Amino acid sequence: MSQPILHVSKTADLAVLELAEFFIRTAKETIAKTGRFSVALSGGSSPKKLYELLASPEFSSQLDWDKVDFFFGDERYVPSDDPDSNALMVKKALFDPLHIPAKNIFTVDTSLPPDEAALKYTQAIQHRYQAEQVRFDLVLLGLGDNSHTASLFPHTPVLHDTSVSVKAVFLEEQNVYRITMTAPLINLAHHLAFLVYGKGKAEAVDAVLNGAEDIENHPAQLIRAAEGEVHWFLDEPAASVLSV
């Protein structure tokens, strides 16, 4: 397994800019080779800046977006029109401005019971890849201050799931369900990219990258590309505790 590749920028905006450039470059190279590009998106507040930048004229004109298939690394178990929905956030920030066709967007059906929603999403992913091994071209990831990524939270059973699939996760402290790709599915990607910024994430970044292995407390340590590359796009405050 290759070592993580660090990209440290002075500010959060510059980190987002560098990741946007990486996204476009990776997509164009992949489309040139295979004809299509598949990406699993992350939710939350950090990547919203990235999606808005990709939808801006400077970046949107650089890619044939009709050749991009969009998936979600995780989703909150809320109605599709709920403000907390990852899909709704991306719809407003990226899909609508770019007029992405519905056939290119694969969302979790949260109107189903959690386990059924996870199974249906696994099947949708498998159908997209047909007989091929499921390997996303790019998976975008964030990092919580508790070292979670996607919806791989500390002390949850999904951390030990070895299937290449999507699972429902119940978070007892919050009394909510999440739907998440498992670490083995994420790790098959050709490229993995974390976007993390802010001083509040510095301890978590250091624990994941340099700390002793402790999956239960630092689930993002599970992200180790099987054959691809893991990139970390950080601002200086998020990288401030790293001893590199």
3-state SS, 191-236, equals EEEEEECCHHHHHHHHHHHHCCCCCCCCHHHHCCCCCCEEEEEEEC
- The number of residues making up the chain comes to 244
62 in a domain, yes or no? yes
58 in a domain, yes or no? yes
178 in a domain, yes or no? yes
**Full domain range(s) for residue 55:** 5-239
pLDDT at 45: 83
Domain tally, the chain: 1
Q: Max CA-CA distance within the chain? A: 46
Kindly report, residue by residue over 126-184, the tens digit of the pLDDT. Answer: 998 886 788 999 999 999 999 999 999 999 999 999 999 999 999 998 999 999 999 99
Contact 9, 236 (CB under 8 A): yes
20 in a domain, yes or no? yes
212 in a domain, yes or no? yes
Mean pLDDT over residues 68-88, rounded? 97
Helix (H, G, I), strand (E, B) or coil at 179: strand
What proportion of the chain, given as a percentage, has pLDDT over 90?
91
Contact 8, 196 (CB under 8 A): no
Q: Is the pLDDT of residue 34 over 90?
A: yes
* Confidence category of residue 1, pLDDT binned at 50, 70, 90: low
pLDDT at 229: 93
244 in a domain, yes or no? no
Amino acid at 10: K
pLDDT at 184: 97
Kindly report, residue by residue over 217-237, the tens digit of the pLDDT. Answer: 999 999 999 888 999 999 999
What proportion of the chain, given as a percentage, has pLDDT over 70?
98
Kindly report, residue by residue over 197-221, the tens digit of the pLDDT. Answer: 999 999 999 999 999 999 999 999 9
Q: Give the rounded distance of the alpha carbon of 29 from its chain centre.
A: 20
Say which residue, 133 or 243, is predicted with more confidence: 133
The CATH code of the domain that includes 34 is 3.40.50.1360
161 in a domain, yes or no? yes
Mean pLDDT over residues 75-83, rounded? 97
* Confidence category of residue 37, pLDDT binned at 50, 70, 90: very high
17 in a domain, yes or no? yes
Q: Is the pLDDT of residue 244 over 70?
A: no
What average pLDDT does the chain have? 95
Mean pLDDT over residues 65-83, rounded? 97
